[in-house]
Amino acid sequence: MTTPVSSPQLSGRRALVTGSTSGIGRSVALALAREGAAVVVSGRDDAAGEAVIKEIHAAGGTAHFVRADLAEGGLAVARLAREAAERVGGPINLLVNNAAVLIPAQSLTEVGEQMADAAFGVNVKAPALLVAALAPAMVDSGGGVIVNIGSISGAIGSPVSALYGATKAALHSLTASWAAELAPKGVRVNAVVPGPTMTRENAPYHAVLRDIASVAPDGRPGTSDEVADAVVFLAGDRAAHIHGATLPVDGGYLAAR
């Protein structure tokens, strides 16, 4: 008996994954490339970006690295949007807004102006400007897909992550509004909402993540590959009728609170 070989779901897609030099973003970039997308990997760390590119090339995929510091604001975002399209040879038609400032646990009195600016700048302002820069060309070139990486922290109250949670709640809200605005124009917008997720880079914190995830129905943290699988699904044509969803990949954490 022969095993059926499934064809790549994302051939012809030109993808940009922000914050794909490490963690969940790296897994997403690898997964999109495995499914046939040409992927722009982005972040501030050139060496880490080049390493991801090498991994993708070694697996037979297509990828380019474009350095960008999303904390630098509008000009940096505009440059990333332009260079990403140039590198893949056409308008970006798959955007994954993944880059984020992950703030260590803090009480409200520990929130300073610099921290607030950095968190809202990278987690909210940058995706908003990037969507503004890329969506018109998606519309003009026949449509596209945007997947935002949210967080369960954006859907629950927490005594130690108010600021980070607020940035993620804003991204969930942008997901719904962008879906409403862009669906009639052929662009699908959704979010994946991870719970505690183990990545290669956060290995020193896996025990903490296990502890947090122990109250979820399936009792374990997710993996970056499990989050990437959800992104691949939402990016592909099998999700053609899904708009404005915030899809938890959290072992049931949100459902059971």
Ligand X SMILES: NC(=O)c1ccc[n+]([C@@H]2O[C@H](COP(=O)([O-])OP(=O)(O)OC[C@H]3O[C@@H](n4cnc5c(N)ncnc54)[C@H](OP(=O)(O)O)[C@@H]3O)[C@@H](O)[C@H]2O)c1
Quick check: 84 binds ligand X (CB under 6 A)?
A: no
C-beta separation of 15 from 66 below 8 A: no
Counts of helices then strands in the chain (DSSP H, E): 8, 9
| Angle at alpha carbon of residue 46, lines to 103 and 236, rounded to 5° | 75
Site for ligand X in 27-46 (CB under 6 A): 43-45
Closer of 51 and 139 to ligand X (Cβ)? 51
| Residues touching ligand X, count (CB under 6 A) | 29
Query: If you search the block for the tokens 């669906």, which residue do you land on?
Result: 183
Closer of 44 and 141 to ligand X (Cβ)? 44
Beta bridge partners of 116: none
Smallest distance, ligand X to C-beta of residue 129, A? 12
Extract the tokens encoding 172: 């969930």
C-beta separation of 28 from 43 below 8 A: no
Closer of 186 and 205 to ligand X (Cβ)? 205
Q: Encode burial over 144-177: b for 16+ CB neighbours within 10 A, e otherwise.
A: bbbbbbbbbbbbeeeeebebbbbbbbbbbebbbe
List the x/- string, 129-168, binding to ligand X by CB under 6 A: --------------------x-x-----------------
Smallest distance, ligand X to C-beta of residue 21, A? 4
Smallest distance, ligand X to C-beta of residue 209, A? 6
Site for ligand X in 91-110 (CB under 6 A): 98-102
Give the residues lining the site for ligand X (CB under 6 A): 19-25, 43-45, 48, 68-71, 98-102, 122, 149, 151, 194, 196-197, 199, 201-202
